[in-house]
Every structure is written in structure tokens, then in C-alpha cells.
């Protein structure tokens, strides 16, 4: 990319450039000192991203019967040996303060029933031994985004750029160390298709997950892994990308686009049944429908494959109709649009990709291995989730690490802007790539990932997928050089990089652990190790070629 750029003027200069306006990006923007200039970039509308669709809630240790130790233990148990204990402890310890901060921002969480009580209602979800989930009915994400965005819009040091897409990071060699330094990003303005340089002392990637690389996902279209792909191309370490989480229960309906049915519905008594009405989860785990997600998703996948079912059933109709309508207004309303009245009947559900447990490797301060480049939220791998994220720990992580970036940036008060050559992409001599080619490749890649790199994997399928993806990669890089860079082309390129990273990571792990299940290596290794992929280091590729 940088080779083909031509010289023009810089457009924007900030102290901090935040790419992504979900829970992670917005909470950081709000906390940064008002003396700092902040650029906040969003690919579409400001609210759009996974955060807005979060249903279940945020886990926090608030109840007397609960403890930080128990939250840590549950998270580590779900994470199957790969959680970093110091991170888990720090996040669980901070959970109460995080909820208090959100309340200060005006988030209206659901309170306990008894009229006089101002205590927050806590629900249960998979893997949690105690009721620990703070929520705003079944629209927690919307409540958070509404409050944070309301405040972000009023803060004069924050400049907002909606419908702007980050293409790549700009890095240069550091004067004082061998480490590269991030000094900005190339940003496409979707409204006029111009590419600008946004220069900053500190760049923060908060671009969310990569779940759109699969055909069926609970995620919105923004989750195309852009931040992970950009960081990988810039030389960041990318960790544990084989651990893609499938949510067990998305609505099965041809018009529903994988609408999520929250795990909290099972937390409030929802039952999982086969289409003939038989229950089955007790065969797989003593915790039944509230076992961690990897177990429930694999159990459903297995029952569907063995019996040839298209779906299983999730039933809460035994509960009072008034309770269901009040506790799950969003799910009730959405299902009714598809003629499913959940107060009277069970809903058909299937698993779909939901959460990217791996990502850009960060330390406790959210620093990446590139200087002045941070990553927070779903785009990052902090070590909190290990091989399988426990429900409702993700929003917590977004806010925890936004606080960490703030603390870290404060240490570098004297940081200066770097001189960078004023380079800008010139789109003039290029032709427009055909939309039909982009759309077709998109669908092929997502279908390939669904069929070959899904819930249950084999070496043969992974290797076949690797070969196919390498062909797409050659084509897209060629297209990127020759054609006008559009938002769709940027996403397609990123999806291909993400597919390559997931497959390489999956081939590197020679065991089954947490969310990664390979029939050729069904056992778990004694030693739990992270998979680290770096564009400059090819060792991991050697590992599976040697076999």
C-alpha cells in the first residue's frame, strides 16, 4: 500500500485517533482528558457495531453471595486453561467500578422488582455459578450506546467521522528502539471515496470482531475483522484466532439474519429441546442448558448432524406471559414479526458465529507490540477469555481496557507528532472493480469458512480451505493495486486476511481445546499454549507443513 502512494497534503492531526465507536472506542473517547484532541472514526453510523445488539448484559460481582474469586474461577474454567489469571483477576476486581461508571454515564439498567429497591437486577448465564449479569431488559447494548453516544456528541475535544473506513495503519521505524511506531492511518471517506491521512500521537484500534468471515453470524456487518487484518499487515502479533465462538441459539428463520436469542433466556428457565420435545443437554454436561457456550453449541451441532435436524427448539413458554414480555421485550417483539409467539410456543434455533476470542495481542495496558498502537475490545486478545469466552465478560473487557489506555497515555505527556511524508492514495487512474466480483468472492469465502472451518474441524478441510484462500488473497491484492479502493473492496481484503489467520492458527493447534475442536486431534494437551501469528514470522506455518 505505502509503495503506491503519491504526495499530497495531510488532512487531519489528533493527539489520539480512535478507530471504532462501540463500547470500547466510545468509553475511551469519553474518558480522555478534554485537553487532548480526539478523532473518533466509525465505518457506518456511530451506534452501529456489535455493542448496540448486546442483549444479555455485563457481568459484575455485586451480590453478597458472589465473590471476585468465584468470578475468576468461572471465567478460567470456561477459558479451558488459556486465560491469563492476572488479567482475569484485575477485570473481575474492577467490575463493580465499571458498572458504577456506566451508571454515571446515564445507562439505565433494570432494577429489582420490589418497588422500593434501587438494587440492580442480576441474572444468570452459561458458566456463571451465581446471578451476576447486570442488564437493561434484553437491550443492554442499545442502552449503553445511547448513553455513551449522547455524551460523546457533546464533548468538544472529540471530532466524529461517521462513514469513514480505516484501510491500513501508518508505521515508521522508531528512532530510539528497534520497535516500529504507529503514527496514523489511511482513512477512506465513503461519502466521496477520497482517502485521507489521519495522523496521531496515539492510535487505538477498537474495531470489534471478525465474525462476518462466517456465513451465519449473530453480528452486524461491521464485524469484518478490519482492525485485526490491519494490525497483522503492520506487524502486530495476532493471538489465538482459532477460537471463534459460536453462540448456541440464533433464531432459525430464512428472514431473520441470525437474530440472537440471548443466553439469559436460558438463565431465566428456557429449555433446549429436540424437535420431538425431548431434552438432550443433560447427556453432554451436568450443567445442562447453562453449560459454557462451546459445550452447548457442539451439543446442538452434534444432535443436528446425527439426526438430520435443521434446528433444535428453545422454549420459555412455560413461564408467565407477562414475565416474558417484560423481561424479553426485544426477543418477544422480533419473534412475533416472524409469527412466533414465544409466550405460547418454542422457537427454532441454530448456532451461529458470535465472538472472536483471539485478536491483536495486548498487554495489561492494552499496548500492542507496535509503539503507540493500542487495541481494545473485541479486536484485542488480552487473555481474559482464553479458549472460550464466558457470557457477558466482553462488554466488561471493553471498558476495563479503555481505562487502561487512558492510564498509559497519561504517562507520555511529552509525546510529539512524528514527521511523516504526506502521502496519499491517488484513485484517479484506476478503474472501478466490478461489484458482482466482490459480492461473489465474499459469499464464497464466508461459505467456505462455514463448511470447512466451523464448529468441528479436520486437518483435511483446513488444508483445503487454506489453498482456496491463498488464491483469493492473490486476486484481491492485485485488485487492490489496480482498482479504485472502495469500502467493499477493503472489507473483502480484510475478510481474506482474517480467513487466512484463522485457518493458519487452527492448523497450528494440534489438540482440541475450548472452542477449537479438531477430529484429528480430539485430546487436550497437558500444556496450554497461545497460538501467535505474525506476518514476519513463518514458524507457525512450518508446524503443520512438517506433518
**Footprint on residues 373-402 left by ligand SIN (CB under 6 A):** 391-392, 394
Least distance from ligand FAD to the Cβ atom of residue 135, Å: 7
Q: What are the distances in angstroms from CA 459 to CA 288, 352, 516, 527, 545?
A: 30, 22, 12, 21, 11
Confirm or reject binding of residue 55 to ligand SIN (CB under 6 A): yes
CB 91 within 8 A of CB 396: yes
CB 479 within 8 A of CB 490: no
Measured from the CB atom, the residue of 47 and 201 that comes closer to ligand SIN is: 47
Measured from the CB atom, the residue of 50 and 433 that comes closer to ligand FAD is: 50
Q: Name the binder of 51 from ligand SIN, ligand FAD, none, CB < 5-8 A by kind.
A: ligand FAD
CB 392 within 8 A of CB 245: no
Q: Name the binder of 479 from ligand FAD, ligand SIN, none, CB < 5-8 A by kind.
A: none
Measured from the CB atom, the residue of 394 and 494 that comes closer to ligand SIN is: 394
The kind and range of the H/E element at 57 are: none
Q: Which entry of 132, 293, 389, 509 is annotated as an active-site residue?
A: 293
Identify any residues that bridge with 483 across adjacent strands, giving them in sequence order. Answer: 431
The position carrying cell 473518533 is: 40
The kind and range of the H/E element at 521 are: none
Q: Name the binder of 222 from ligand FAD, ligand SIN, none, CB < 5-8 A by kind.
A: ligand FAD
Confirm or reject binding of residue 95 to ligand SIN (CB under 6 A): no
CA neighbor of 506 nearest in space, from 159, 215, 244 = 244
CA neighbor of 188 nearest in space, from 476, 491, 487 = 487
**Footprint on residues 415-444 left by ligand SIN (CB under 6 A):** none
What residue ranges in 457-526 does DSSP mark as E strands? none
Distance, CA of 453 to CA of 456 (rounded, Å)? 7
Confirm or reject binding of residue 372 to ligand SIN (CB under 6 A): no
Measured from the CB atom, the residue of 40 and 462 that comes closer to ligand FAD is: 40
From residue 247 to residue 286, the character string flagging contacts with ligand SIN as x (rule: CB under 6 A) and all else as - is ---------------xxx----------------------
- 266 Cβ neighbours under 8 A, 6+ residues apart: 125, 126, 249, 272, 289, 290, 314
Measured from the CB atom, the residue of 297 and 373 that comes closer to ligand SIN is: 297
Least distance from ligand FAD to the Cβ atom of residue 479, Å: 18
Calculate the dihedral angle through the C-alpha atoms of 524, 354, 87, 89, rounding to the nearest 10 degrees.
-90
Q: Name the binder of 218 from ligand SIN, ligand FAD, none, CB < 5-8 A by kind.
A: ligand FAD
For ligand SIN, the binding residue among 39, 56, 235, 351 (CB under 6 A) is 56
The kind and range of the H/E element at 136 are: none
Annotated catalytic, 461? no
Least distance from ligand FAD to the Cβ atom of residue 118, Å: 22
Measured from the CB atom, the residue of 55 and 505 that comes closer to ligand SIN is: 55
Give buried/exposed letters for 51-76 (b at 16+ CB in 10 A, else e).
bbbbbbbbbbbbeeebebebbbebbb
Q: Which residues bind ligand FAD (CB under 6 A)?
A: 19-25, 41-44, 48-51, 53-58, 140-141, 165-166, 206-208, 218-219, 222-223, 226, 260, 355, 377-379, 392-395, 398
CA neighbor of 461 nearest in space, from 518, 524, 542 = 518
Active site members: 293
Site of interaction with ligand SIN (CB under 6 A): 55-56, 262-264, 391-392, 394
Amino acid at each position: 500500500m505505502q509503495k503506491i502512494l503519491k504526495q499530497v497534503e495531510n488532512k487531519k492531526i489528533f493527539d489520539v485517533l480512535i478507530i471504532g465507536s462501540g463500547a470500547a472506542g466510545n468509553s475511551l473517547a469519553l474518558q480522555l482528558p478534554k485537553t487532548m484532541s480526539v478523532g473518533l472514526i466509525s465505518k457506518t453510523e456511530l451506534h452501529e457495531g456489535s455493542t448496540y445488539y448486546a442483549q444479555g448484559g455485563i457481568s459484575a460481582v455485586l451480590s453478597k453471595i458472589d465473590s471476585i474469586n468465584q468470578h475468576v474461577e468461572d471465567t478460567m474454567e470456561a477459558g479451558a486453561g488459556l486465560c491469563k489469571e492476572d488479567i482475569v483477576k484485575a477485570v473481575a476486581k474492577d467490575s463493580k467500578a465499571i458498572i458504577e461508571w456506566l451508571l454515571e454515564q446515564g445507562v439505565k439498567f433494570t432494577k429489582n422488582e420490589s418497588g422500593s429497591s434501587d438494587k440492580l437486577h442480576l441474572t444468570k448465564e452459561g458458566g456463571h455459578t451465581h446471578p451476576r449479569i447486570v442488564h437493561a431488559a434484553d437491550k443492554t447494548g442499545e442502552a449503553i450506546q445511547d448513553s455513551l453516544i449522547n455524551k460523546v456528541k457533546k464533548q468538544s475535544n472529540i471530532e466524529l467521522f461517521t462513514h469513514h473506513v480505516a484501510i491500513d495503519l501508518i508505521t515508521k521505524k522508531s528512532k530510539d528502539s528497534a520497535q516500529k511506531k504507529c503514527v496514523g492511518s489511511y482513512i477512506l471517506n465513503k461519502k466521496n471515496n477520497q482517502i485521507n491521512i489521519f495522523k496521531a500521537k496515539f492510535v487505538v484500534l477498537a474495531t470489534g470482531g471478525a465474525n462476518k468471515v462466517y456465513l451465519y453470524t449473530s453480528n452486524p456487518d461491521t464485524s469484518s475483522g478490519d482492525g485485526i487484518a490491519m494490525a497483522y499487515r503492520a506487524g502486530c502479533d495476532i493471538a489465538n484466532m482459532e477460537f471463534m465462538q459460536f453462540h448456541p441459539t440464533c433464531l432459525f428463520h430464512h428472514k431473520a439474519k441470525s437474530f440472537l436469542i440471548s443466553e439469559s433466556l436460558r438463565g431465566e428457565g428456557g429449555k433446549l429441546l429436540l424437535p420431538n420435545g425431548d431434552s438432550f443437554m443433560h447427556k453432554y454436561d451436568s450443567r445442562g442448558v447453562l453449560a459454557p457456550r462451546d459445550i452447548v453449541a457442539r451439543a446442538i451441532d452434534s444432535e443436528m448432524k446425527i439426526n438430520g435436524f435443521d434446528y433444535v427448539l428453545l422454549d420459555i413458554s412455560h413461564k408467565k406471559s407477562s414475565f416474558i414480555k417484560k423481561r424479553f421485550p426485544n426477543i418477544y417483539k422480533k419473534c412475533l414479526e416472524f409469527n412466533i409467539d414465544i409466550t405460547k410456543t418454542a422457537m427454532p434455533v441454530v448456532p451461529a458465529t458470535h465472538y472472536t476470542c483471539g485478536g491483536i495481542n495486548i498487554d495489561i495496558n492494552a499496548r500492542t507490540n507496535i509503539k503507540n498502537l493500542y487495541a481494545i475490545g473485541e479486536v484485542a486478545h488480552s487473555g481474559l477469555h482464553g479458549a472460550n469466552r464466558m457470557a457477558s465478560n466482553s462488554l466488561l473487557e471493553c471498558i476495563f481496557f479503555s481505562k487502561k489506555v487512558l492510564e498509559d497515555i497519561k504517562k507520555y505527556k511529552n509525546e510529539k507528532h512524528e514527521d511523516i511524508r504526506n502521502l496519499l492514495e491517488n484513485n484517479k487512474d484506476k478503474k472501478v472493480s466490478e461489484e458482482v466480483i466482490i459480492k461473489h468472492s465474499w459469499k464464497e469465502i464466508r461459505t467456505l469458512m462455514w463448511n470447512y472451518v466451523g464448529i468441528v474441524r479436520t486437518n483435511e478441510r483446513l488444508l483445503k480451505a487454506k489453498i482456496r484462500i491463498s488464491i483469493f488473497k492473490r486476486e484481491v491484492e492485485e485488485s487492490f493495486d489496480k482498482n479504485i479502493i472502495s469500502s467493499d473492496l477493503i472489507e473483502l481484503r480484510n475478510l481474506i486476511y482474517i480467513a487466512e489467520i484463522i485457518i493458519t492458527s487452527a492448523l497450528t493447534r494440534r489438540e482440541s481445546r475450548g472452542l477449537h475442536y479438531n477430529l484429528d486431534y480430539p485430546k487436550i494437551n497437558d500444556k496450554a499454549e497461545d497460538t501467535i501469528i505474525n506476518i514476519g514470522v513463518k514458524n507457525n506455518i512450518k508446524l503443520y507443513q512438517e506433518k
